[in-house]
């Protein structure tokens, strides 16, 4: 039997518990809590891609209460949401999954600043409707021009990066006039980044007639 503290909060089911937790813990924004579905959808959109298969992507998930999940590029993420929730609950209980052997996800306590200090990016980019209007293709090219860049997508349903994240950014891009879901931004970024570094062309050699 799971203890209440071992249940991954989900806005669709645990609204009252989230309100209580936010009231008790200062600094937590309730509107950014309880959306593991956003993380799941976003990971699904970026992990099973040529960019990741070619080992050109590292994914980290930072949570509001300063946990960081490091994702092994070799993970086969559960496609089913309920299985994903089970895996994340296991991760928070055991600090890594699977518990033995090469971890596919690791958890530690860390702020965005700690993560930046660890991965030492040469430049940090964020996607936000508060940013400079920029075509995603252009943004992806700019990012691909940097050795060891870090690109941050907000994994919350609305609102903006907290100040401490925003202050860490060197550039902030607005890629549509409306806010886009995190998984759409992340998926399009990964795809345009593939183009920027030539992955797409390298993997498919068009044959003479495309119009067969």
The residues binding a copy of itself (CB under 8 A) are: 10-13, 35, 37-38, 41, 44-45, 48-50, 53, 78-83, 132-139, 142, 157, 171-178, 180-181, 183-184, 187-188, 191, 200-201, 203-207, 209-212
Q: Which residues pair with residue 150 across a beta bridge? A: 124
130 CB burial (10 A radius; 0-12, 13-18, 19+): exposed
Q: Which residues pair with residue 171 across a beta bridge? A: 125
**Beta-strand pair 123-133/105-109:** unpaired
Output 14 or 108, the one with its CB closest to a copy of itself.
Answer: 14
Whole-angstrom distance, CA of residue 74 vs CA of residue 88? 17
Taking only Cα atoms into account, the Rg of the chain, rounded to an integer number of angstroms, comes to 18
Output 71 or 110, the one with its CB closest to a copy of itself.
Answer: 71
Output 91 or 191, the one with its CB closest to a copy of itself.
Answer: 191
Output 104 or 140, the one with its CB closest to a copy of itself.
Answer: 140
CB of 48 to a copy of itself, least distance (A): 5
CB of 192 to a copy of itself, least distance (A): 9
CB of 181 to a copy of itself, least distance (A): 5
Whole-angstrom distance, CA of residue 116 vs CA of residue 120? 6
CB of 41 to a copy of itself, least distance (A): 6
């Amino acid at each position: 039997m799971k203890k209440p503290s071992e249940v991954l909060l989900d806005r669709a089911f645990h609204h009252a518990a989230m309100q209580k937790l936010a009231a008790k813990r200062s600094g937590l924004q309730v509107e950014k809590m309880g959306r593991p579905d956003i993380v799941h959808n976003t990971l699904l959109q970026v992990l099973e891609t040529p960019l990741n298969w070619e080992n050109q992507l590292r994914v980290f998930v930072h949570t509001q209460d300063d946990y960081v999940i490091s994702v092994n590029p070799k993970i086969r993420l559960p496609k089913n949401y309920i299985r994903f929730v089970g895996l994340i609950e296991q991760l928070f209980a055991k600090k890594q999954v699977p518990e033995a052997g090469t971890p596919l996800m690791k958890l530690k306590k860390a702020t965005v600043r700690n993560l930046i200090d660890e991965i030492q990016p040469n430049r940090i980019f964020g996607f936000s409707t508060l940013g400079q209007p920029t075509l995603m293709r252009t943004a992806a090219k700019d990012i691909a021009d940097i050795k060891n860049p870090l690109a941050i997508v907000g994994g919350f349903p609305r609102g903006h990066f907290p100040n401490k994240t925003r202050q860490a950014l060197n550039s902030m891009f607005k890629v549509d006039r409306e806010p886009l879901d995190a998984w759409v931004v992340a998926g399009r970024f990964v795809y345009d980044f593939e183009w920027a570094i030539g992955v797409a062309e390298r993997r498919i050699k068009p044959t003479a007639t495309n119009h067969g």
